[in-house]
Structure 1
Amino acid sequence: MGPVNWLAVVLGAAAFFVVGMVWYGALFGKVWQKQVWPEGTPQMSGSPIVLFGLCFLAELVVSTMFGHMLARLQPPTHVIWMMAFGIGATIMTPAIAINYLFQRRSLTLFAIDAGHFIVGTLAMGAVFVALS
């Protein structure tokens, strides 16, 4: 097992976070808000710094596990891409699908959130590829 690339872990989480900023901002922000809050956006309680900090922490957990897997397996570049896509498409997306089915969430909301996870993990994977 090789060493975990901690720079890639942190920058991979940052890439995932930036994808979320663009995804839920400029790209799908208005549609996403209408899907989550059909009555209008509620007032946020608590600190946005805490909210975004916890979001980054969760993405850091994903990136840390990804970095650990890569250190363990030491795969070639094309496999890093496949693993990054696979995590988003076959682990994270089905997990939210299960919740959204029971919550009776819309297919639109599912597509937006699933797309974020897939593109976010690909961005994370790109960082690992670039720094490998």
Structure 2
Amino acid sequence: MEFNLLAVLIAALSSFVVGFIWYNPKVFGTIWMKEAGLTKEQIEKGNMLKIYGLTFAYSFILAFIMMPVLVIHQMGAISMVGGSQLVENAKPSYLAFMADYGDVFRTYKHGALHGFISGIFLATPVIAINGLFERKTWKYIAIQGGYWIVTMTIMGSIICGWK
């Protein structure tokens, strides 16, 4: 099983697609700006190259770590033999295991499930904690948490299902 860089890149880009829809003024954009205490003028003054560049970098990091840790179970087995570069030296039990289970649960649906669970139990609590200390409203926390639940669901689906 090889690392699928293209799947990680597309998963990272999916955060933009979801964001363009989620934060559209006709969806949650207007409410989010109000709850964040931002005006349209402040949004327009932002350094968009920096914002979008760093957003892609962080989305890539998230998608990159989702692959081996959260959505593809077989990556754990590969790590037990020291990584993909050492697979040829693995014991016969590893090879038998991978022959039996190498593609088990490698579906878009299964990846979406793990992405969804990760969004609920990893991303949303972090956002909620930050929001509480920043004195943000529950509406703000729900919008931000919802975005990451949807985004991580899609990321997980792409990463796990794309073989």
- Give the whole-Å Cα distance in 2 for the aligned partners of 1:31 and 1:72: 40
- Give the whole-Å Cα distance in 2 for the aligned partners of 1:97 and 1:18: 23
Q: Corresponding residue for 1:100? A: 131
Q: Corresponding residue for 2:9? A: 10
- Larger Rg, first or second structure (1 or 2): 2
Higher RCO (CA 8 Å, separation ≥ 6 residues)? 1
- Give the whole-Å Cα distance in 2 for the aligned partners of 1:43 and 1:23: 19
Give percent identity, aligned residues only: 30
SS of equivalent residue, structure 1 residue 43? helix
CA deviations over 1:65-107 (Å, ceiling 9, x no partner): 0123326146503542222112111001001111111111101
Which residue among 113, 117, 128 is the counterpart of 2:144?
Answer: 113
- Post-superposition shift, 1:43? 2.9
TM-score (norm 2): 0.71
Q: Corresponding residue for 1:43? A: 42
Equivalenced residue count is: 130
Query: RMSD of the TM alignment (CA)?
Result: 2.0
Which residue among 117, 138, 151 is the counterpart of 1:86?
Answer: 117
* Contact 1:9/1:64, CA 8 A, preserved across alignment: yes
- Give the whole-Å Cα distance in 2 for the aligned partners of 1:106 and 1:46: 23
* Contact 2:11/2:154, CA 8 A, preserved across alignment: yes
TM-score (norm 1): 0.86
- Give the whole-Å Cα distance in 1 for the aligned partners of 2:160 and 2:21: 22
